[in-house]
């Protein structure tokens, strides 16, 4: 009888361990120190949450084979993460689109997207947009100012559903509405940027590719996050991400929670 109870007890422990849900914190950040959000702010959040794994918004080229940083730099995330690594036992892994910046240059979305936006802004300032497009551009500027304003209010201000919705609106205007405006003015299709390989790309096409890459980048990041959700089952994971990404990552990950037995939480729930 005692042996039977022992087996039952072991089974209960096993079931409890295997059914433990992974905790995933999508921690929106501001990359450079600002009022109310500094490396100290982020470090204190990490200490509070006590993650087993920190996912860092870079690709593997930033790490050694042992997953130490090859270099340090003056960002909130890097300073806080290195300090946490020095004081606590934690794994740190990259989850970004591999070769992000090189890829954008290769496909011509950079710096063409910025050139296209500068040209559109000059159209707006010189009253060269029709009334409908003028209103769309004003709405973009308002959405942009609103979203950027959260950066100075502290981490909780840019880690909540309201800010996620503001980010979604801002990005929709940026990558969809502004592209639509550009399609109505031939100058965006007739003005070209010459890439380093000698090929040329129109401002319109460059901005279009930037729009498409925004989707591809976030989809890749979400796919990589889910890889680590599986690999670190039952653990606590913090995903450091510029807070413009949070809404997109949430939309791609939340419907996977039950299937993969994880829960998305906010840092202030700890």
Mean pLDDT of the chain, nearest integer:
94
For 22-100+234-269, the fitting CATH number among 3.40.1010, 2.60.300, 3.10.620, 1.10.1200 is 3.40.1010
- Return the domain boundaries, the chain: 22-100+234-269, 106-214
Global confidence as pTM: 0.91
| Per-residue pLDDT at 11 | 45
Specify whether the CB–CB gap between 115 and 208 falls below 8 A: no
pLDDT tens-digit series, residues 200-237: 999 999 999 999 999 999 999 999 999 999 999 999 99
**Quick check: 130 pLDDT over 50?**
yes
**How far is the C-alpha of 164 from the C-alpha of 109, rounded, in Å?**
25
């Amino acid at each position: 009888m005692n042996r039977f109870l022992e087996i039952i007890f072991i089974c209960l422990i096993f079931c409890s361990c295997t059914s433990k849900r992974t905790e995933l914190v999508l921690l929106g950040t501001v990359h450079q120190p600002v009022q109310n959000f500094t490396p100290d702010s982020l470090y204190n959040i990490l200490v509070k949450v006590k993650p087993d794994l920190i996912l860092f918004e870079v690709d593997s080229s930033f790490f050694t084979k042992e997953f130490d940083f090859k270099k340090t730099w003056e960002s909130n995330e890097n300073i806080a993460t290195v300090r946490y690594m020095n004081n606590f036992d934690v794994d740190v892994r990259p989850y970004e689109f591999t070769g992000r910046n090189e890829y954008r240059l290769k496909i011509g979305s950079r710096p063409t997207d910025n050139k296209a936006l500068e040209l559109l802004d000059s159209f707006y300032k010189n009253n060269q947009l029709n009334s409908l497009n003028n209103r769309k551009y004003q709405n973009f500027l308002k959405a942009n100012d609103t979203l950027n304003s959260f950066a100075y209010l502290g981490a909780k201000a840019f880690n909540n559903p309201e800010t996620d919705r503001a980010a979604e609106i801002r990005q929709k205007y940026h990558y969809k509405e502004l592209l639509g405006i550009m399609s109505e003015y031939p100058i965006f299709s007739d003005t070209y940027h010459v890439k380093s390989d000698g090929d040329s790309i129109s401002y319109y096409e460059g901005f279009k590719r930037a729009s498409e890459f925004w989707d591809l980048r976030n989809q890749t990041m979400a796919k990589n996050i889910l890889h680590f959700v599986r690999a670190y089952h039952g653990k606590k994971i913090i995903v450091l991400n510029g807070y413009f990404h949070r809404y997109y990552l949430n939309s791609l990950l939340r419907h996977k929670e039950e299937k993969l037995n994880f829960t998305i939480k906010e840092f202030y729930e700890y």
